[in-house]
Structure 1
Amino acid sequence: MKKLLILLLVVAMFSGCAGNVSEVNQPNDPDTDQLEESDTDLVEETFKFKVEEPVTLSMFVDEFWWPYSDWSGDMPKWFTEMTNIDFDVTVAADTTELSMLVASGTLQDIVVTTQFNMLANSDLCYAWDDLIEEYNIDYAIHPAYKFVNSASDDKVYTIRVGWSADYEYEKYPTVNPEGTALVLRKDILEAVLNETGLEAITTVEELEKCFDACKELYPDVVPFTIHDSNQATRYLEAVYGAGHAGLVDIDDEAMVYIYDEKYKTVLLKMNEWVSKGYIEPENFSWNGLSIAMEKAAASQVFAMASL
């Protein structure tokens, strides 16, 4: 049986089933409409339809390091409320499990994976183009996404993460394009904001003030922790808009990312944070999530950069 290659197609698939859905907000045309609503309002507009009866689909996550084992948390809960769709999640035990599922014909309903070439074919997965046509779905794949995500048969089986058109960033001004987020302990955050007189953290300088306040109020707590040494600079790269790998645009020329002045700023800032005691030096020897998660669970960390 064919499967859906990524999560987002679920909404589009059910939106075409007459009699099984109820209409909610219609999305705006990103090329013409004035986008003045909040990010939350805009996100809600992406859900055009909601399944009337609750549906549970199976999902296979082809990343054995994925730290979650079920469909729970604020964002999954919000998604289910918006769509009436829940998921039974299975996380890969190793890097070979997906191949075994393909060979045995036992793929789950939804497959979350980076193995684009393996699954982007009509024998295994549904093509968005075919579903849109068959169910008369009011959804147009933007030409830029069509170009980036087309498989060898010129059909779209998924919209991959890692690249978005400029108009998407204009719609969501607070989005972090690099994917790395800063997770903060709520009780310490409230205490340091009160200590510094800040209403919220909006700049690197304000974040550093909170780190200093954390050191003063909670001397046994590490202000900043990196979840994985292999991703040591990802958070600051996102903050300063620096590249992480490959080529970047410098004065309209393609240059290796290490020549970007913003990347130099990232390295200098990271060195400064270590010197000030915001980061434990041994943090750079950690490999994987386990140590950082253990420290966070033991209330030994204020802020953790995590993908």
Structure 2
Amino acid sequence: MNKSFKKLLMVMSLLMMFGVLAACSDSETGSDSDSANKGSDSNSEEATGAAMEDYDVGVQFKAKEPVQFSMLFSDHPNYPLKDDWLLLEEIEKRTNVTFDITSVPMSDYEEKRSLLISTGDAPYIIPKTYPGQEGPFVSSGAILPVSDYIDLMPNFKKTIEDYNMEPYLEGLRQEDGKYYLLPGMHENVWPDYTLAMRTDILEELGLDAPTTWEEVEVVLEKMKEAYPDSTPFSDRFEFNSTLNIAATAFGTRAGWGLGNGLKFDFDKDEFYFAPATDGYKQMVTYFNGLVEKGLLDPESMTQEDDQAVQKLLKEQSFVINTNSQTVIDYQKGLDEKLGEGEAKMKKILMPGGPAGQVMAGSKLENGIMISAKAKDDPNFEAMMQFIDWLWYSPEGKEFAKWGVEGVTYTKDENGKRQLADDVNYVGLNPDGTKALNVDYGFSGGVFSYGGSTELLQSMMSEEELEFQKGMMETKETLLPDPPIKFNAMELEQSTLLSTPLVDYVKQNTLKFILGQRDLSEWDDYVAELEQKGMQKFVDLANKVYQDKK
């Protein structure tokens, strides 16, 4: 073999070796380990499956071919799922997407969701998940660390920047620094639940709307004097909403806001167990006094919502917890029962208390978990683009809330929206014969949440806008507590400690308020919490917080 031929063989071998190395390099660059960055350039030509190559902010998402995504659905009894909803038809028309829906009654949703995730049978898209509810599913790997994939979601990223959401998203991050929930995001903190009162009764008695819990008690006493057969305050939501808003004013946590019982002291930079504090004692003492005086219906803690509403409509009570939608229902019921204009229900500003004129709040709302198995679907990228458009783009949020322009609503030259003549929603168009949510599927809790303050307020009545303005002008918004980034073992340990504590708190809160346990036994109650591991739970939380903050 001559030298020239040997040199040629050597050159060819080197070229082949470099080619193999280059191919390996290309393969590694496009491997699954880098899937989180696919589509990070919204104009990338690497989009896979039915995903769009040019998807970006301001671009209407439409899959390159028809696709179907499985989804869990919380079915509300007041506007149950219908296959022929215009919402679903229009989603398919605009995006080329249909759903394989697993529908679950709202009352069973959390339990069913847990079961499906734990058995590996959960649909890809798991909406109606509130911040914190994703925690138990993180360690198993059953749900996706969605923060790894937000480069596929340009509208989501823009919302984070525009609404200054990073401080709120920080509370979602788990020990690994990732978050596993795509939350609904509001431009501003906004309050909703408070007390509704018969303001015509207030006028009759020459009373102003109360601004503190002390003034609430005075109003209830005057109502009782004028109507001795009544129990002025009969509540719904098993009293959990009222306890939640009252707890803020008393500087503690209770009701819907109880959580694991921990509250953060910003001055001391540490957590403590709120239901064992003087603020909690003040709160239960206050409500126990209302029960003792016959001002608060003791059935408020156990009765069905409809029972509380019926007492209001029968004028057995005049005060009840409410939100922006239910107060309209109360008014409608009173108009039908007593005659239009005979009674007037109105939201009052959340009462202040020992902690001042304060309100708790967050810009986060319920959001979406993604099943971990979805990432292996060839249309995963298309699914993330679709979620980004429907739930996070201004166009998608307006569509999910208002419906189809020219069909369910119109828009004037100034951009103001108005429901179509035959469509009603939360009393905005009482003459409408069709309901935006019931008959068309829009403005439902699964698809419609979050967004700009303008969009949020676009469906508010003048009274609700007045309420929002009053809250913003008179209340100080408290900062959210910092996150405690438990790992899987720590989370299991904290759950084992907190569950019996929280159960015991709920039981004894009820007993103290109803007078089934005398308030003189408060110190005994705190000692019993200690015996159940309260300090051990607080110490664990503070150690994890300090180690990982």
Q: TM-score range by the shorter chain?
A: 0.5 to 0.7
For 2:233, which of 195, 217, 224 is the aligned residue? 224
Partner-residue secondary structure (3-state), 1:149: coil
Classify 1:189/1:258 alpha carbon distance in 2 versus 1 (closer, same or farther; 3 Å): same
Relative contact order (alpha carbons < 8 A, sep ≥ 6): 1 or 2 greater? 2
Equivalent of residue 146 in structure 2, options 127, 130, 134: 127
CA spacing shift, 1:152–1:91, aligned 2, 3 Å: farther
CA deviations 1:59-113 (Å, max 9, x no partner) are 734xx9x875559xxxxxxxxxxxxxxxx98534535422465544545563325
Partner of 2:490: none
Question: How many residue pairs are counted as aligned between the two chains?
Answer: 223
Q: Are 1:301 and 2:310 matched, yes or no? A: no
Q: Give the match for residue 182 of structure 1.
A: 194
Percent identity between the two aligned chains: 19
Show the counterpart of 1:20: 60
1:195 to 190, 199, 205: 205
Distance 2:143 2:80 in 1: 24
Say if 2:291 and 2:298, in contact at 8 Å, map to a contact too.
Answer: yes
How does the TM-score come out when normalised to structure 1?
A: 0.52
Distance 1:302 1:240 in 2: 24
Provide Cα deviations, 1:239-279, integer angstroms capped at 9, x if missing partner.
32223333553973654334533222212211221222111
**Mapping 1:1-307, distance limit 5 Å:** 16-20=56-60, 60-61=73-74, 69=79, 91-92=105-106, 94=108, 96-99=111-114, 101-102=116-117, 103-106=120-123, 110-113=127-130, 114-118=133-137, 124=143, 127-128=146-147, 130-132=149-151, 134-135=153-154, 137-138=157-158, 139-140=160-161, 142-151=165-174, 154-158=177-181, 172=189, 181-185=193-197, 188-198=198-208, 200-227=209-236, 228=238, 233-244=243-254, 245-246=261-262, 249=265, 252=268, 254-284=271-301, 286=302, 289=305, 291-296=307-312, 298-305=314-321
1:118-143 Cα deviation digits (max 9, x unpaired): 37999755825523555264233755
Answer with 267-276 or 254-263: which moved more.
254-263
Q: Is the contact made by 1:225 and 1:301 (CA closer than 8 Å) also made in structure 2?
A: yes
Q: Is the 8 A contact 1:229 1:287 kept in 2?
A: no
Structure-2-length-normalised TM-score:
0.32
Compared CA separation, residues 109 and 249, structure 1 to 2 (3 A): closer
1:20 maps to amino acid: Q
Greater fraction helix? 2
SS at match of 2:128: strand
Inter-partner Cα distance in structure 2 for 1:246 and 1:134? 34
- After superposition, the CA RMSD in angstroms is 4.6
**Residues 239, 300 of structure 2: 8 Å contact kept:** yes
CA contact (8 A) 2:210 2:216 kept: yes
Structure whose CA Rg is larger: 2
How far apart, in 2, do the equivalents of 1:128 and 1:266 lie? 39
Instruction: Give structure 2 stretches of 5+ with no counterpart.
Output: 1-54, 62-70, 82-100, 255-260, 324-549
Distance 1:210 1:67, change over 3 A: farther
1:220-239 Cα deviation digits (max 9, x unpaired)? 43222343267784443233
